[in-house]
Amino acid sequence: MDLSRPGAGHDGGHEAAGASGRTVPTGPAGAWGTMGPMPSHESTTVPLPAHRTGKGPGPLPPHETAGASLPPHESTDRLDAPATATAPALLLRPWEPADAAPLAELYRDEALRRFLSHSLTDEADAARWIEQQRQGREAGGRFAFAVVESAAPHAAGRLVGHAVVKGVAPGSPAAEVGYWTAAHARGRGVAPRALEALTGWAFAAFAAQGLTRLELVHQADNTASCRVAHKCAYELTGTLPAAPPAHPLDGHVHTRTPITGAGPRSA
C-alpha cells in the first residue's frame, strides 16, 4: 500500500497495492492482491486469496519467493526520483538491517497501521520484515525499496516511505505495486514520485519476462491513494469485495500499462 496522507494505499495486502501474478477468469486484480485481465471500461469483484487474510510479518506467499531473475543490465538496486520546488529528491534503495529501528518507529503511526494487513510492534519485528524483503529480492519475486530523502544523488537520507513491486514471475503479464509514506513526510509528493520511479523501473527491468501490466490496490475509503494512482496514470479498473477482518471495506483496483503513463500528472 501507500500512505501519501492518512488513508493512502499500502503494502502487504494494502500497500497501496499488493502483488500476485495469478490470472482470474474474468476480472481485474483477483482479490485484494491477485491479478487478472481487466479492460479499463469494466468493473468487477473477486474473492479474497488465502494469503491475504493474516496479520503480522509471516512468511512471504509462494508467488513472491520464486520469481524471475533480474536481467544483469537492470540489476540496479538504487532508483532516483526528482526533487520538487519544496521537497528534496528521493532515493529508492533496498531495505537494510540498520533500518529496523526507524521502521519500527514509523509503524507507531495509527493512520499507517489502519491500512496495512500486517503489523510491526517492535524493532525485532521490523528486523524480521526487512530480512523477508531481502529474501524476496534474492528469490526474484518481490523487490522492496526503502524510500529516503536525498539532498544529492545516491546520498543517504531520512527514511520517508516504502515502495515495492511484487508477484513478478517469468511469463506472467502482471505484477503488483505497493507503497506507503511516513507520517512526517506526507504532503511532499513522496508517494507519486516514488511510485513513478518504481513503475518505470519495473516495466524496463521485466519486459523480457513478459510484464505488461502493473496493478495497485487500496481500500475504497483511501482517497489519498486514489489521488496518487491518478497522478501516476494508474486507471481505476475494478473493485474487490470486503473480506473482514483483514479488509473491512471494498478495495479499488488501479491498472497501468507501459503505454498508459508519461510521468506524474499535475492533478
pLDDT digits (tens, 9 = 90+) for 35-58: 333 333 333 333 333 333 333 455
Gap between the Cα atoms of 70 and 13, Å rounded: 24
Q: What is the pLDDT of residue 11?
A: 60
| 58 Cβ neighbours under 8 A, 6+ residues apart | 118
Q: What is the pLDDT of residue 177?
A: 98
Q: What is the pLDDT of residue 115?
A: 73
The closest alpha carbon to 80, from 152, 136, 164, 8, belongs to: 152
The secondary structure element, H or E, covering residue 133 is helix 123-139
Q: What is the pLDDT of residue 31?
A: 35
Asked if residues 266 and 237 have their Cβ atoms less than 8 Å apart, the reply is no
Asked if residues 113 and 60 have their Cβ atoms less than 8 Å apart, the reply is no
Asked if residues 172 and 210 have their Cβ atoms less than 8 Å apart, the reply is yes
Q: What is the pLDDT of residue 156?
A: 65
pLDDT along the chain (267 residues), means of 10: 40 42 30 35 33 42 51 64 94 97 94 80 97 97 96 74 97 97 95 97 96 96 94 96 90 91 55
End-to-end CA distance of the chain: 20
